[in-house]
Amino acid sequence: MSATLTMKPEATAEAEARAKVERAEIDASTRLPVVLFYGSAVFWLLVGTLFALLASFKMNAPTFLDQWGWLTYGRVRPAHLNAVAYGWASSAAIGTGLWLMARLCRAPLRHSTLLIGAAIFWNLGVLLGTFGILSGDGRSIEWLEFPNYASGMLFVAYGLIAVWAVIMFRFRQPGHVYVSQWYLLAAFLWFPWLYSTANLLLNFQPIQGGAQGAVNWWYGHNALGLWFTPIGLATAYYLIPKVLGRPIHSYYLSILGFWSLALFYSWNGMHHLIGGPFPAWMISASVVASVMMFIPVVTTAINHHMTVRGNFQALKWSPTLRFTVFGAMCYTLSSVQGIFMAIPSLNVVTHFTHYTVGHAHLGLYAFFTMIMFGAMYYILPRVVGWEWPSARLIRWHFWLTAVGIGMMVVVLSIGGILQGLALLDPGVTFMVTLEYTKPWLFLRSVSGILLTAGHIVFAVSFTMLLLRVGVRKTEPTLFGSDQGRKPERLTV
Amino acid sequence: MNRMPVIVVGIFLTFLSSWIGLVAYPYLNLGRFTPVTDPDSGEVFPPPMSGLAVAGQRVYAASGCVYCHSQQVRQVGYGSDLERGWGSRPTVARDFMRENPVFLGTMRTGPDLANIGARQPSAMWQHQHLYQPSVVSPGSIMPSYRYLYRLQKIEGQRSANAIDLLPPDAAPDGYEVVPTHEAEALVAYLLSLNRNYPLPEAPESSQ
């Protein structure tokens, strides 16, 4: 099967030169949509971070800004979640996804008006939705808090993107379909279905309360599992081989990983409701599916690890690879953690505690967000034609966010376990279970300050790149010498 | 994998399976409950909600109470919910048939509220607690909901619904703190949260 090693070095110098021109044309064609989505992503990252800090501080000092309903904890917290999930993470995912799509289809981006329209609708939707939550229109359905006037806009935006993705796919160059594209196509098709079903049954034509929880968590978990995860994995599957200049370790592991993820992840949702008012088989099905996630997770971990093996020194010079490999490792970590959290005897400790919040940040931040940072470091200079202004800023960005998120996950995990064990013991009064968490919630705020600093550094770096501050560089901005590697050696 | 139809059909079918199991099934089986009438007393369970309580449910959603409070009592073997006195029996799907949206919750920074109406049946206590949580419940990190209350000058006699507050939040002389319509609605909703009635699938005190 010759197609198995699709991302391989070009055979001749002439072919390599031709591929270089082709890539440059494709990159240039994606400029406006990529910059639009990335720019919005960074804007919402800052907004979402601000809400996160507010929410965290309010847990340390409940009287802080408590005179206005607009800034009460119960509104700032969902404003944070939605601003980062839909404003930051989804915009970053779309920006990365559309660039990858054009690259992997080996075709310049067509119909960019569809994407520009989508970007406008998406931002309007997130803006109205966040405003709606703060003003008291939020629905308090986790991950689906946006009022209908906002979620409708997101759906229109997403519909445009899905149509565009299908068109791009139809006009791709013939040949092998690389693993990243399976994930991209799946994510672009799954998400509109997921989002429309959940919004229809919970917000537009709400079904009875007894059934809502199941739909809520079918959505909540799949937003992570079938939207962010596939885009994150598609990006890692593309960037790791690209930066290292060597093909992915095993095509067959990629296939196994993809199909087992598609089958098992979609059934995970009910593990958020263990012990809840649902038929035992539904909960059991999700627990089994969660444990089966071992297969795609280990498969992907082996595949990525074997690709990087022997080349770990590249993490020293490549910002893209450092962020991406950090993210890929955290994918394994958060997934394995998630498997254990679904086992009922352990879930009974972690359920209803801050441990789950730590887990969510390990997934959406340490895995997904870090990979998106890595992707931006790779994609933006190619698209804009200007290098990142300073390696020092990138270094600060990496260490502030890596240490910040590491600390956040650790302190929330410890606080959550203490809280969970105390909750289990009816001899411990409820107020004591809260006391156990307080010091850890304080440390969570400290970790949040580190992350905020990292985001500000990144936003400065991002703005400098867009404004083309400084002198034109001829070489990429790296942490050190790349020891003669040529990151773009592979085709597509 | 170069065969697009195979990829697309596979993407569709894997997702369809979970859509059937976790969306269509609950929609058809957990989404069509009817209330049960007690043959002896003629009472209807779960009881219908008052209009004010329904309005309060919207305030509960708007204020984001669900981010710290669950509304579900798990059965024995899943935590100490019953031992903590959060309910006389585990909650079942029918209990939530009138809830929209349902606030099952995933976090217990604060205690479960599935039966808060039975556990704290005093409207005055609920108002005081919403206004000054850390005074009523020392150590609490619940924020104050005083933005749902109004400080007003006493005209003639003190209003019947004025809240008795403790220092440091007590109203200055000649003034009183009264709940807005939203606060009244929220408290009506909280007081309506009482799922200690018997259902065929969940007899009372089934510990």
| Half-sphere CA count of A451, side-chain side, radius 13 A | 27
Q: Tell me if B82 is assigned to some domain.
A: yes
- CA angle in degrees (0–180, nearest 5) for A473-A475-A479: 105
CB-CB under 8 Å, A209 with B63: no
Q: Tell me if B16 is assigned to some domain.
A: no
Number of domains in chain B: 1
DSSP character at residue A369: I
How crowded is residue A311: how many other Cβ atoms within 10 Å of its Cβ? Answer: 17
For A229-275, how does the pLDDT look when each residue is reduced to its tens digit (9 = 90+)?
A: 999 999 999 999 999 988 999 999 999 999 999 999 999 999 999 99
pLDDT, residue A485, reads 65
pLDDT, residue A2, reads 32
The whole-number mean pLDDT for each consecutive block of 10 residues of chain A, a chain of 492 residues, reads 51 84 94 98 98 98 95 98 98 98 93 96 98 97 97 96 91 88 94 96 96 97 97 97 92 95 95 96 97 97 95 92 97 97 97 98 98 98 95 97 98 98 97 97 98 98 95 88 67 62
Q: How far apart are CA A36 and CA A117, in angstroms?
A: 11
Cα A388 from chain centroid (whole Å): 22
Q: Tell me if B40 is assigned to some domain.
A: yes
A212, A206 Cβ separation under 8 angstroms = yes
Partner residue opposite A426 with nearest CB, options B83, B138, B146: B83
Residues 6+ apart with CB under 8 A from A133: A75, A78, A79, A82, A145, A146, A147
pLDDT, residue A1, reads 30
Q: What is the 3-state secondary structure (H, E, C) of A260-281?
A: HHHHHHCCCHHHHHCCCCCCHH
Determine the 3-state secondary structure of A333 from DSSP. Answer: helix
pLDDT, residue A327, reads 98
Give φ, ψ of B107 to 5 degrees: -145, 140
Residue-range definition of the domain harbouring residue B42? 36-192
CB-CB under 8 Å, B100 with A72: no
Q: How far apart are CA A365 and CA A379, in angstroms?
A: 19
Question: E strands of A291-352, at which residues?
Answer: none
Bridge partners, B149 (sequence order): B179
CB-CB under 8 Å, A423 with B100: no
pLDDT, residue A448, reads 98
DSSP string, A181-229: HHHHHHHHHHHHHHHHHHHIIIIIS---HHHHHHHHHHHHHHHIIIIIH
Determine the 3-state secondary structure of B87 from DSSP. Answer: coil
Q: Is the pLDDT of residue B207 over 70?
A: no
Give the pair of three-digit tokens for residue A444: 């969570």
Partner residue opposite A140 with nearest CB, options B4, B66, B133: B66
| Half-sphere CA count of A168, side-chain side, radius 13 A | 32
Q: Is the pLDDT of residue B1 over 90?
A: no
Contacts of B65 in chain A (CB under 8 A): 74, 140
pLDDT, residue A488, reads 65
DSSP character at residue B160: T
Instruction: Tell me how close the Cα of A474 comes to any Cα of chain B, in angstroms.
Output: 38
Element (H, E) at B176: strand B175-179
**Please, is A342 exposed, middle or buried when counting C-beta atoms within 10 Å of its C-beta (0-12, 13-18, 19+)?**
buried
**Please, is B26 exposed, middle or buried when counting C-beta atoms within 10 Å of its C-beta (0-12, 13-18, 19+)?**
buried
Q: Between residues 42 and 71 of chain A, which touch chain B (CB distance below 8 Å)?
A: 58-59, 62-63, 66-69
pLDDT, residue A6, reads 55
Q: Tell me if B21 is assigned to some domain.
A: no
pLDDT, residue A486, reads 61
A423, B80 Cβ separation under 8 angstroms = yes
For B3-36, how does the pLDDT look when each residue is reduced to its tens digit (9 = 90+)?
A: 778 889 999 999 999 999 999 999 999 999 999 9
Q: Tell me if B115 is assigned to some domain.
A: yes
B112, B72 Cβ separation under 8 angstroms = yes
How far apart, in Å, do the first and last CA atoms of chain B sit? Answer: 55
Determine the 3-state secondary structure of B150 from DSSP. Answer: strand
Contacts of B110 in chain A (CB under 8 A): 434
Residue in B49, B83, B134, B141 to test binding to A, most A beta-carbons within 10 Å: B141
Q: How far apart are CA A246 and CA A7, in angstroms?
A: 8
Indicate which CATH number applies to the domain containing B127: 1.10.760.10
Q: Tell me if B207 is assigned to some domain.
A: no
pLDDT, residue A487, reads 60
Determine the 3-state secondary structure of B138 from DSSP. Answer: coil
Give the pair of three-digit tokens for residue B95: 């209990």
CB-CB under 8 Å, A209 with B97: yes
Partner residue opposite A423 with nearest CB, options B18, B80, B143: B80
A98, A34 Cβ separation under 8 angstroms = yes
For B64-94, how does the pLDDT look when each residue is reduced to its tens digit (9 = 90+)?
A: 999 999 999 999 999 999 999 999 999 999 9
Q: What percent of chain B has pLDDT over 90?
A: 89
Instruction: Tell me how close the Cα of B42 comes to any Cα of chain A, in angstroms.
Output: 23
Q: Tell me if B119 is assigned to some domain.
A: yes
Q: Name the residue with tokens 């591929």.
A: A19
pLDDT, residue A491, reads 62
Q: Tell me if B140 is assigned to some domain.
A: yes
